[in-house]
């Protein structure tokens, strides 16, 4: 027996040990309960968050996923547990994803990256992932940022793209030119395209028709775009096609296709002959040349092409109308010939110089050419015109002026046509000119035009006899018509010799 140790002390020690053991067991049970409750709370939290949560091995095998996988991507546990996480990642993103995970494993930090994930229907979602290594597994949470990415892409699209054509804007070249001079991009070819006729269509038919032309031409050019090509709306009617790793011969071949294909087969209210394109092709071979220099060279070559075609294009403006029966009917060449005959006789009787007599007849032959821009349903309407329709009718002198001034051989009569519906009292259109501010040649055509309209008959008015028409001219002399022109026409042309 140990000295000093009594038997009753043994009973006390046993009691203490039992008490401490009970306390230890109670504490351990409490700890286990606390851990169980914390685990349940954690499970509940993981199950209700919208983020994807998963645990997978270093090899990518999925060990655990939360409910969000089913709700966000349509996958359940049986579809994912044991599968590789890389099976649902877009192929092009797999390498970058593995690299990002390996970097996280090395650093031990909470690294972040973005990739594209396929849902159970194969639809792509953008996810921002955070991963961290614990013991021998990788813990990852992923947040769906598809809406954010789409919004950002839309903003970038509208920032860099031309809203009308869908092509890149000129500013995109300026911000990206450095990336285009990398050796692997060479040779870099440029096709500079200029659309001829846009201004004439805008001026004659309105910008709606011009915009529609731009959209149509752009879409046809974009149909030739290859992967890596950059098609740019460089200016109002100019386009630049940037073709990386493309030789001059290949670029020239593409330019010929654009020029000779159905690119210019446009269906619109305007004559298709009014539209043509000029092209210039240049190629950057050495890295020392800048993209801007190559564009300038292609622009210079385009301008040379434009000069060569200019005369032919302008000639086709009038010929395009003459060769189009639908437009020719609006122009009404028989009425034009009658007006030219009357106007020429008035000019002769008034003693105008021979060259002015010829100018009046030339102008009279095209005085209604602006009517080709007016819809047929308005020109042929047998009921009263609305105010809006009347305004369209009244624009035809301006349209005629815009058409004729763009053609060298008719530019001299453009101003005559602009003023042939002015009234001497200042209440005519389009500029409300008064008296002698109206060119005499225009005043002559106004009388000849009205007389033939009255005696030939129109949809909107009954045909008048010669006497009725003369009476109408006299009644309007001094307000609508020049009194001297009316007098000469009646006394020396219509009634001469009677």
Query: In this model, does residue 103 exceed pLDDT 90?
Result: no
- Decide: pTM greater than 0.75: no
Least confident of 106-110, 182-186, 228-232, 399-403: 182-186
* Domain assignment present for 319: no
Can you tell me the distance from the alpha carbon of 186 to that of 184, in angstroms, rounded to the nearest whole number? 6
* Whether 128 and 176 share a structural domain: no
Instruction: Say yes or no to pLDDT of 3 above 60.
Output: no
What pLDDT, on a 0 to 100 scale, did the predictor assign at position 37?
A: 52
The whole-angstrom separation of Cα 412 and Cα 407 is: 9
Sheet holding 111-118, edge to edge: 62-65, 52-56, 137-144, 124-134, 111-118
Residues 225 and 335 in one domain: no
Residue 6 inside a domain? The answer is no
Q: Sheet containing 238-243: which strands, arranged edge to edge?
A: 168-169, 230-233, 238-243, 188-196, 276-284
Mean per-residue pLDDT, 266-290: 80
pLDDT of 134: 82
Dihedrals phi, psi of 147, to nearest 5 degrees = -60, -40
Please, are residues 133 and 104 in contact by the beta-carbon 8 Å criterion? yes
3-state helix, strand, coil in the chain (%, to 5): 60, 15, 25
- Angular region, 446: left φ>0, alpha ψ -120 to 50, beta rest: alpha
Q: Which residue reads 């201004």 in tokens?
A: 199
Q: Between 29 and 77, name the one with better pLDDT.
A: 77
According to the model, what pLDDT value does residue 99 have?
87
Instruction: Please provide residue 62's backbone torsions phi and psi, each rounded to the nearest 5 degrees.
Output: -75, 130
192 and 114 in a single domain? The answer is: no
CATH number of the domain to which 83 belongs: 3.30.450.20
Q: Give the residue numbers spanning the domain of 393.
A: 325-494
Instruction: Quote the number of domains for the chain.
Output: 3
Are 356 and 390 contained in the same domain? yes
Q: Which of 309, 336, 362 is the last residue of a domain?
A: 309
Average pLDDT over residues 266-281: 80
Q: Is the pLDDT of residue 12 over 80?
A: no
pLDDT at 45: 44
Sign of CA dihedral 128, 133, 134, 138: positive
- Give 5's pLDDT tier (boundaries 50, 70, 90): very low
Q: Is 237 helix (H, G, I), strand (E, B) or coil?
A: coil
Q: What is the DSSP letter of 286?
A: S
- Segment 55-65 mean pLDDT: 87
**Is the same domain home to 130 and 244?**
no
Helix (H, G, I), strand (E, B) or coil at 54: strand
Of 286-300, 313-327, 350-364, minimum mean pLDDT range: 313-327
pLDDT tens readout for residues 317-349: 777 777 676 776 777 888 999 999 999 999 999
Domain-terminating residue out of 248, 283, 309:
309
Does position 124 have pLDDT exceeding 80, yes or no? yes
Give the domain CATH number at 277: 3.30.70.270
- Tell me the average pLDDT across 201-209: 85
pLDDT band at 2 (very low <50, low <70, confident <90, very high): very low
* Mean pLDDT of the residues in the chain: 82
Query: CA-CA distance, 124 to 146, in Å (whole number)?
Result: 9
Task: Give the SS3 label for residue 194.
Answer: strand
Whether residue 452 is found in the same domain as residue 405: yes
Whether residues 294 and 430 fall in one domain: no
* Confidence at residue 289, expressed as pLDDT on a 0 to 100 scale: 74
User: What percent of the chain clears pLDDT 90, i.e. is strictly above it?
Assistant: 32
Give the model confidence (pLDDT) of 236-263 as tens digits: 899 999 998 899 999 999 999 888 766 6
DSSP-assigned letter for residue 115: E
The answer to whether residues 116 and 72 belong to one domain is: yes
- Choose one of 309, 338, 355: the last residue of a domain: 309
Q: Both 406 and 488 in a single domain?
A: yes
């Amino acid at each position: 027996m140990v000295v000093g140790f009594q038997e009753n002390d043994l009973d006390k020690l046993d009691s203490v040990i039992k008490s401490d053991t009970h306390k230890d067991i109670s504490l351990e049970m409490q700890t286990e309960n606390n851990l169980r409750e914390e685990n349940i709370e954690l499970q509940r939290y993981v199950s209700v968050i919208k983020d994807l949560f998963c645990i997978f091995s270093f090899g990518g095998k999925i060990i655990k996923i939360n409910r969000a996988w089913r709700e966000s991507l349509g996958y359940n546990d049986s579809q994912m547990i044991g599968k590789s996480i890389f099976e649902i990642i877009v192929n092009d993103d797999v390498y970058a994803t593995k690299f990002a995970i390996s970097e996280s494993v090395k650093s031990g930090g909470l690294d972040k990256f973005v990739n594209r994930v396929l849902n159970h229907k194969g639809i792509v979602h953008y996810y921002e992932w955070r991963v961290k290594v614990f013991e021998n597994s990788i813990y990852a949470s992923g947040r769906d940022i598809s809406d954010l990415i789409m919004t950002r892409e839309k903003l970038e699209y509208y920032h860099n793209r031309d809203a009308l054509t869908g092509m890149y804007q000129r500013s995109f070249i300026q911000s990206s030119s450095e990336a285009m001079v990398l050796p692997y991009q060479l040779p870099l070819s440029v096709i500079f395209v200029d659309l001829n006729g846009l201004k004439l269509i805008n001026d004659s038919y309105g910008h709606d028709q011009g915009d529609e032309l731009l959209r149509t031409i752009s879409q046809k050019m974009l149909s030739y775009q290859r992967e890596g090509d950059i098609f740019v709306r460089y200016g109002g009617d100019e386009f630049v096609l940037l073709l990386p790793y493309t030789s001059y011969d290949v670029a020239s071949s593409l330019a010929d296709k654009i020029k000779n294909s159905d690119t210019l087969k446009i269906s619109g209210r305007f004559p298709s002959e009014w539209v043509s394109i000029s092209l210039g092709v240049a190629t950057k071979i050495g890295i020392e040349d800048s993209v801007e220099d190559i564009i300038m060279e292609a622009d210079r070559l385009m301008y040379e092409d434009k000069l060569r075609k200019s005369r032919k294009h302008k000639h086709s403006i009038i010929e395009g109308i003459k060769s189009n029966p639908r437009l020719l009917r609006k122009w009404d060449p028989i009425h034009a010939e009658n007006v030219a005959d009357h106007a020429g006789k008035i000019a002769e009787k008034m003693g105008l110089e021979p060259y002015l007599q010829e100018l009046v007849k030339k102008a009279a032959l095209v005085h209604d050419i602006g009517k080709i821009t007016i819809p047929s349903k308005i020109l042929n309407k047998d009921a009263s015109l609305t105010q809006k329709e009347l305004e369209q009718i009244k624009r035809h002198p301006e349209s005629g002026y815009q058409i004729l001034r763009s053609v060298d051989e008719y530019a001299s009569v453009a101003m005559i046509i602009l003023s042939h519906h002015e009234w001497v009292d200042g209440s005519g259109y389009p500029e409300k000119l008064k008296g002698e501010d109206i060119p005499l040649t225009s005043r002559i055509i106004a009388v000849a035009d009205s007389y033939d309209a009255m005696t030939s008959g129109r949809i909107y008015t009954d045909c008048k006899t010669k006497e009725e028409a003369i009476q109408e001219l006299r009644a309007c002399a001094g307000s609508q018509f020049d009194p001297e022109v009316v007098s000469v026409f009646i006394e020396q042309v219509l009634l001469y010799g009677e």
